[in-house]
Protein backbone atom coordinates (compact mmCIF):
# COMPACT_ATOMS: atom_id res chain seq x y z
CA UNK A 1 0.00 0.00 0.00
CA UNK A 2 1.25 3.45 -0.90
CA UNK A 3 1.45 5.70 2.19
CA UNK A 4 2.14 9.00 0.49
CA UNK A 5 0.07 12.02 1.53
CA UNK A 6 -3.06 12.31 -0.62
CA UNK A 7 -5.02 15.13 1.01
CA UNK A 8 -4.68 17.53 3.88
CA UNK A 9 -7.82 18.71 5.67
CA UNK A 10 -8.02 21.34 8.40
CA UNK A 11 -10.99 20.25 10.50
CA UNK A 12 -10.37 20.47 14.25
CA UNK A 13 -9.40 23.64 16.06
CA UNK A 14 -7.82 21.67 18.92
CA UNK A 15 -5.60 18.61 19.29
CA UNK A 16 -7.15 15.28 18.27
CA UNK A 17 -7.76 13.02 21.28
CA UNK A 18 -9.18 9.90 19.57
CA UNK A 19 -9.04 8.45 16.10
CA UNK A 20 -10.79 5.22 15.01
CA UNK A 21 -11.49 3.34 11.79
CA UNK A 22 -14.80 1.64 11.09
CA UNK A 23 -14.83 -2.17 11.06
CA UNK A 24 -14.72 -2.23 7.25
CA UNK A 25 -12.06 0.54 6.97
CA UNK A 26 -14.33 2.85 4.97
CA UNK A 27 -14.77 5.57 7.62
CA UNK A 28 -12.34 7.44 9.86
CA UNK A 29 -13.70 9.01 13.07
CA UNK A 30 -11.80 11.78 14.88
CA UNK A 31 -12.61 13.55 18.16
CA UNK A 32 -10.70 16.55 19.46
CA UNK A 33 -10.53 18.81 22.49
CA UNK A 34 -12.65 21.33 20.57
CA UNK A 35 -15.63 19.00 21.18
CA UNK A 36 -16.18 18.10 17.54
CA UNK A 37 -16.56 14.66 15.99
CA UNK A 38 -15.66 14.36 12.31
CA UNK A 39 -16.39 11.38 10.07
CA UNK A 40 -14.33 10.96 6.91
CA UNK A 41 -14.97 8.66 3.95
CA UNK A 42 -11.89 6.66 3.04
CA UNK A 43 -11.41 5.96 -0.63
CA UNK A 44 -8.95 3.10 -1.13
CA UNK A 45 -7.38 2.46 -4.49
CA UNK A 46 -6.40 -1.03 -3.39
CA UNK A 47 -8.15 -3.78 -5.38
CA UNK A 48 -8.75 -5.78 -2.19
CA UNK A 49 -11.26 -3.16 -0.99
CA UNK A 50 -14.36 -4.56 -2.76
CA UNK A 51 -13.52 -8.11 -1.59
CA UNK A 52 -13.38 -6.93 2.01
CA UNK A 53 -16.71 -5.11 1.61
CA UNK A 54 -18.34 -8.24 0.19
CA UNK A 55 -16.93 -10.29 3.07
CA UNK A 56 -18.59 -7.97 5.63
CA UNK A 57 -21.84 -7.54 3.69
CA UNK A 58 -24.82 -8.28 5.90
CA UNK A 59 -22.80 -7.99 9.11
CA UNK A 60 -23.80 -4.98 11.12
CA UNK A 61 -21.91 -4.13 14.29
CA UNK A 62 -22.35 -1.28 16.71
CA UNK A 63 -19.87 0.47 18.92
CA UNK A 64 -19.82 -0.51 22.57
CA UNK A 65 -19.21 3.13 23.52
CA UNK A 66 -22.21 5.35 24.17
CA UNK A 67 -21.92 9.09 23.85
CA UNK A 68 -23.48 10.81 26.87
CA UNK A 69 -23.43 14.47 27.75
CA UNK A 70 -20.60 15.11 30.19
CA UNK A 71 -22.85 17.45 32.17
CA UNK A 72 -25.37 14.62 32.78
CA UNK A 73 -22.65 12.24 33.89
CA UNK A 74 -21.09 14.88 36.17
CA UNK A 75 -24.50 15.63 37.71
CA UNK A 76 -25.10 11.95 38.53
CA UNK A 77 -21.59 11.62 39.98
CA UNK A 78 -21.96 14.72 42.16
CA UNK A 79 -25.37 13.58 43.46
CA UNK A 80 -23.97 10.14 44.25
CA UNK A 81 -20.93 11.61 46.02
CA UNK A 82 -23.20 13.91 48.06
CA UNK A 83 -25.34 11.00 49.17
CA UNK A 84 -22.32 8.88 50.03
CA UNK A 85 -20.96 11.77 52.11
CA UNK A 86 -24.33 12.08 53.90
CA UNK A 87 -24.28 8.36 54.69
CA UNK A 88 -20.75 8.63 56.05
CA UNK A 89 -21.57 11.65 58.20
CA UNK A 90 -24.81 10.02 59.40
CA UNK A 91 -22.87 6.93 60.41
CA UNK A 92 -20.37 9.07 62.31
CA UNK A 93 -22.92 11.26 64.13
CA UNK A 94 -25.85 8.90 64.78
CA UNK A 95 -26.13 5.46 66.27
CA UNK A 96 -28.66 2.67 66.49
CA UNK A 97 -31.89 2.54 64.52
CA UNK A 98 -31.83 6.18 63.35
CA UNK A 99 -28.51 5.58 61.64
CA UNK A 100 -29.75 2.45 59.85
CA UNK A 101 -32.94 4.16 58.65
CA UNK A 102 -31.09 7.24 57.34
CA UNK A 103 -28.40 5.12 55.70
CA UNK A 104 -30.89 2.82 54.03
CA UNK A 105 -32.88 5.77 52.65
CA UNK A 106 -29.73 7.27 51.19
CA UNK A 107 -28.64 3.90 49.83
CA UNK A 108 -32.07 3.65 48.17
CA UNK A 109 -31.54 7.10 46.61
CA UNK A 110 -28.10 6.01 45.35
CA UNK A 111 -29.67 2.88 43.89
CA UNK A 112 -32.38 4.99 42.18
CA UNK A 113 -29.75 7.32 40.70
CA UNK A 114 -27.75 4.36 39.40
CA UNK A 115 -30.91 2.90 37.83
CA UNK A 116 -31.70 6.28 36.26
CA UNK A 117 -28.17 6.46 34.84
CA UNK A 118 -28.54 2.97 33.34
CA UNK A 119 -31.87 3.99 31.83
CA UNK A 120 -30.34 7.14 30.31
CA UNK A 121 -27.46 5.08 28.89
CA UNK A 122 -29.95 2.62 27.39
CA UNK A 123 -31.97 5.45 25.84
CA UNK A 124 -28.79 7.02 24.42
CA UNK A 125 -27.71 3.66 23.02
CA UNK A 126 -31.11 3.17 21.33
CA UNK A 127 -30.98 6.73 20.01
CA UNK A 128 -27.55 6.32 18.43
CA UNK A 129 -28.26 2.84 17.03
56-103 confidence digits (pLDDT tens) = 555 556 566 666 677 888 888 898 898 988 888 877 776 555 556 666
Range in 30-39, 94-103, 104-113 the model is least confident about: 94-103
What is the rounded distance in angstroms from the CA atom of residue 86 to the CA atom of residue 61? 43
What is the rounded distance in angstroms from the CA atom of residue 103 to the CA atom of residue 95? 11
State phi, psi for 16 to the nearest 5 degrees.
Answer: -75, 130
pTM: 0.33
Range in 36-45, 52-61, 120-129 the model is least confident about: 52-61
What is the rounded distance in angstroms from the CA atom of residue 104 to the CA atom of residue 85? 14
Q: pLDDT-derived band of residue 110, with 50, 70 and 90 as boundaries?
A: confident
Please, what is the average pLDDT of the chain?
A: 76
Amino acid sequence: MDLQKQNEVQAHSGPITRMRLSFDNTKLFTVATDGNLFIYDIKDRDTKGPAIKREFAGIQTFSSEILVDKSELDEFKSQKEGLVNEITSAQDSHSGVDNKIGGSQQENEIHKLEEELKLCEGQAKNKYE
